Structure 1
Amino acid sequence: MIIAAILLALIAGVFADINSDMAARRRCWSAGNDQPARWWDEGARVDRGRYWYECQNGELQPRGCFNDDKERMFIYGTFVKNGYESQCIIGADNYLQFKFSACVPEGVGRKEPGQTWEDQDKMYWFECQNDDPYLKIAIVGCMTHDKTKRLKIGESYEDGDYLYECQTKYNGSVQMCSVGCVHKGAHYKIGESWPDGDYIYYCKINHGRCQKICVGCQFRQKRLYDGDRYQKDDTVFQCEVRPDKFGHKPVGCVVRDDKGDTIERVVGCKWFSETPESKVEMTCVMEGEKTAVKTLGCIWVHKGYDTLFLYPGTYTQWTQSVDGPALAVACKETSNGRFRVETFPPDQVSTRAAGLKLDQPRGG
């Protein structure tokens, strides 16, 4: 019995030494937990910087990371800060590290690299892009004004009479800019002008936006600007350009004299066509979209004095003295539409005053 007890004690001591030796071999030597290097027992948790480990079989096994708020997280855990999601991983070198795993723009949600989205006002669109070893939220374009189509930076589109382009400004910001005008399908840059029908148009910039305006008129392939005049069908037209209207405005009559020379008379102007024996008073009037020369009346000049006034298309009889011969005086239309004074004996009234209206004589 004594021998058996001794043998059991010896065996127990051997196993105790073996267990103690095995436990010593499973310990880990490392600094950690804000302490200098020392031995850590099997299963001990060791924090080193932003990472933490567990002592297993004499080696520190990576178990996780600490986020920016110093909260403990396991491998593959994530946290979000400043619009980006970071993930605790084991890298290709078998060391713990952080990897940017997603973009998390405010109010939009989690976006993985390559995914795109639009801002809440649908003015721009963005992409979560790789920027090794980081990620970045990049603005890659603009939205059209109707919020239905995406444009990349540098692309343009038509909206009514204007051309817009998504541009990067000098300060790096991205903006939809008005860059030109559209007229009947053709594009015109700022500063360009072009004819269309009876008018000249110009593409200008006004408070950052393009504006298509009329700057002149076109007549027989000639460009006219505000105040320029031209003659057409015996009417003088003036190119009129105002902020609120534009047009070819009739402003005068083309009057030809007996020699065939022409002179321009403005609307409302009155003048006389004179001979030694007569004066014909005329004026320039508007008739619809044109002007016309209208005769106001005829004046018969006798012995150098304006003696009788007659309306166009009338005649009268005049006696020079009580015992002198009578005389018929008429304001007659000629073959060219003008009027002239004619005098003739009263016995020729039936032939030479045919179609005219008898009028009372008036002083000239």
Structure 2
Amino acid sequence: MTTPLKVIFAGTPDFAAQHLAALINSKHDVIAVYCPPDKPSGRGKKLTACTTKLLALEHNIIVEQPVNFKSEAAQQQLAQYDADIMVVVAYGLLLPEVILNAPRLGCINVHGSILPKWRGAAPIQRSLEAGDNKTGVTIMQMDKGLDTGDMILTAQCDIENTDTSASLYEKLANLGPTALLETLDLMAQLNYKASDHNIAQDNELATYAKKLDKAEAELNWQLSAEQLHRKIRAYIPWPVAQFTFTESETEPKQHTLRVWQASVQEYQGNAAPGTIIKADKNGIEVATANGALRLEVIQLPGKKALPVKDLLNGRSDWFVVGSNINKLG
């Protein structure tokens, strides 16, 4: 027998909002939503609410926006809701132990990887970059460590060779809500005992998914074509992989081009990494440390992304076979 749970939800971006929407449409009762304070956005720096807050207000759910949970007032406010459980999805704030222990069933988190692999801030991107063939979501009982809590339930999906972080994000946004509701239904059972269901993580198998840095986006042709291809896919939609080149030696104007689509090509030649070995309607092929990378969709500064065949119509002189892609002209 199960009884509906009183749920506090904490989250920020669209990924979190999709989980909140599933909760709102479930038998469980969302009694409050927590999200970070509104942030300045756009040219006018107007304070803008996150997607999760907008959804909560649309459904007349109370919204709380503490800067953090260090103050006793913020801690007491949450405790007063007398929630059965707190669900955390891409919230962005650290929860102290007093908050983790406040709800009757504690706090659970929806994490975008198959734990203990890829704990941390960027599990989707790091999984793609590393060449994993599977990923998923883990519903985890939160503790004071970083994604170290016991696992309650996991759901998996394949990573295809065409997946980007954007497409994988959508896959997990579809997996996560179903897994979350299944977990809550399990925990809502009157005879539920965490010790009967939770599985401790093996810390020896843990890997860390550090936050992305813009500096990582620069393509290094000394890597293999496969590595570069994974990086390009992992960095869509942000920060987007790029390469910088000098237009000519006499007029050293630099351009930074962003790469939105590429593919790995076989290459048995001996051209130095970074050398353009082909440029036609199919793309610009560049030699790497192993194989060639065909650049297929490129974005010039201040312009929209274009198929290479369109770019070559006006810039064919930039991409001369035999030249180094970082030193053109």
Higher relative contact order (CA 8 A, sep 6+): 2
Higher helix share: 2
Structure 2 length-normalised TM: 0.23
Larger Rg: 1
